[in-house]
Structure 1
């Protein structure tokens, strides 16, 4: 058993190294350059195509070849990528594994949070690299969320957006969802709210680029924004946000107050349970705890007295908090993200 466990740990170590190599290749645009070349290539050719030093490219290619990511023809001494791998390597995968560089920046900060006498958490605005990374990788998931979750699971929402409503994306980040909705439904007004001016500015740039006049990016704290929006919003959307907040129940009360009578709130949260014993066999539980430890929990504890639920706030607590906020009528749709559709 001890030997098997040791082999497993060593395998994890080797895999983690490969992930870091993938992230480096994604950051430098090496996989995209391979796709553009669309033929076997030498290290010199890839170096020229990416304006990188050949010696470093050669070492990285050796690393990727020994990891069975790229192929190497020993006769021609050229590297190649199989077609079935190329779309993955030049698409979302390098962006996804790019989180390791963000992790590297947060590791020293998190280490201090563990120590008695150290900080309780990490303020979101200390580094917005995670928010930017999310903005890069979530385009496809937000398109799916718009089609299958918002339009597919909220009754009559497509018709309401087409006719024109006022809605808010709370915790909008770089504003991907807000921009998608504003572009597709020009008769509706979308307020994109967040506490990061850096991320809001990225959203404003996106709106300017698309020449959208019906989306507005504004600083707002989810814990105290209802005074301005009291009973003014027809629909509120939160994607993977509520568990990050220091005080989720306070934020949900603010959301309830901001909705008009008959308004709808969509809360999308990770499909996990609130208890560890119920998550042990869950297919995404390790990833959930990983992101929670490095990002969600430190954000939630960054304010004195923060609840610190983290990403494993779970379906059970989520339902409890929604009810406590005033939503007596809600339904949960299950997928990779649980969709709480709540009615005022």
Structure 2
């Protein structure tokens, strides 16, 4: 019996060792994939910025490297290196013609995910090379004897990038139609004419777009920053939109006479900056008509860290916090915050002063000043629970192009 027991233990030990070897090899393969995709990501960013995907998308047939380079106005040697990366990264396809020449083409079903004219994930790849410019500074900050943060001026390129991508996203009719179509019957309602409120409208991109697409609908945009409201008004005047108005207001204390005024309310990338979320969401409920719909857009991240295991949107957001939020918010005086803030301050509309929002505005109770990652990244479960509490019926959708979630809240009739 002792011998049998020893054999069983030996077999069990061998099985465990085999499992460990398999797990080690699997993780090694995973790491190789991470490294490979990291390099592919940088190359996609280059192609997106130089509009190389747009060039490929305009061709009706496969083309040589020389033709692609000439059309793009780039050096052939660099384009050859880029195309090799794109082929090995499964982004661009390659064929050989009868003469043995290597030709390249971009399948049409990939265009919307890569071209510079669309709001897509290729836009997000351009954050990565920008992070790399401050990477050595962040490394020094992480060390115990290093500086607390990085001078905000070092992140200037990131502000330019955000301005470009935000305009692309909020000015995209295709993107807006996609999210509106996630709510059955809403587009018909907007076409026939209803009332819309964009809470935390920033410079008015989305509010103006809705007003332009649906001339029978009256749109109101509100933002805590008077300077931002002025920018939104100017843009509306330039577009000659008579059906949109903008005003400065605190989302936690909207006009009393707005009760049951709006058929549709939208709020994008704002709620995670708000200290008193329950008060703001209760106000949204109050101004909606019975049966009205509220669209809340925010990070697609869960409250529990374990629930974010392997979740791409969470990886992107947490890296954003590590490589930008923390060092930027601690860069001026070293004591202003623990992340998610420009110079330690974030305003209720969800935009930083450098985005055309005044840093001198009176800060209402919605503002989080010097707030921590835990306060900001509580996950979409918190606002969802509040929405249910104040009287909404909830549905959630994912938006792959922006790594966001779309919480659709309907006010009970």
**TM-score with structure 2 setting the length:** 0.63
Superposed, 1:238-257 pairs within 5 Å as 238-243=267-272, 245-247=273-275, 249=277, 252=280, 255-256=283-284
Which of 187, 193, 198 pairs up with 1:169? Answer: 198
C-alpha spacing 1:36/1:184, structure 2 compared with 1 (3 Å):
closer
Partner of 1:306: 371
C-alpha spacing 1:64/1:150, structure 2 compared with 1 (3 Å):
same
C-alpha spacing 1:120/1:54, structure 2 compared with 1 (3 Å):
closer
Q: Which runs of 5+ in 2 are unaligned?
A: 1-22, 326-338, 346-368, 399-405
Which of 70, 78, 96 pairs up with 2:93? Answer: 70
Which of 369, 380, 383 pairs up with 1:318? Answer: 383
Residues 266-275 or 20-29, more deviating: 266-275
Q: Aligned partners of 2:304 and 2:209: how far apart in 1?
A: 35
Asked whether the equivalents of residues 252 and 321 of structure 1 are also in contact (C-alpha less than 8 Å), the reply is no
Is 1:340 aligned to 2:409, yes or no? yes
C-alpha spacing 1:63/1:122, structure 2 compared with 1 (3 Å):
same
C-alpha spacing 1:215/1:310, structure 2 compared with 1 (3 Å):
farther
Q: Which runs of 5+ in 1 are unaligned?
A: none
Partner of 2:363: none
Asked whether the equivalents of residues 266 and 339 of structure 1 are also in contact (C-alpha less than 8 Å), the reply is yes
Q: Aligned partners of 2:380 and 2:51: how far apart in 1?
A: 39
C-alpha spacing 1:261/1:210, structure 2 compared with 1 (3 Å):
closer
Which of 130, 139, 151 pairs up with 1:105? Answer: 130
C-alpha spacing 1:66/1:34, structure 2 compared with 1 (3 Å):
same
More helix by share: 1
Which of 146, 149, 153 pairs up with 2:183? Answer: 149
SS in 2 for 1:335: strand
Q: Aligned partners of 2:24 and 2:93: how far apart in 1?
A: 33
Across the aligned residues of Structure 1 and Structure 2, the Cα RMSD in angstroms comes to 4.3
Q: Aligned partners of 1:12 and 1:24: how far apart in 2?
A: 19
Q: Which has the larger radius of gyration?
A: 2
Cα offset, 1:258, TM superposition: 7.7
SS in 2 for 1:79: strand
Residues 327-336 or 301-310, more deviating: 301-310
Q: Aligned partners of 2:225 and 2:103: how far apart in 1?
A: 43
Asked whether the equivalents of residues 193 and 218 of structure 2 are also in contact (C-alpha less than 8 Å), the reply is no
SS in 2 for 1:314: coil
Partner of 1:215: 244
Q: Aligned partners of 1:65 and 1:32: how far apart in 2?
A: 16
SS in 2 for 1:127: helix
For these two proteins, the number of residue pairs brought into alignment is 326
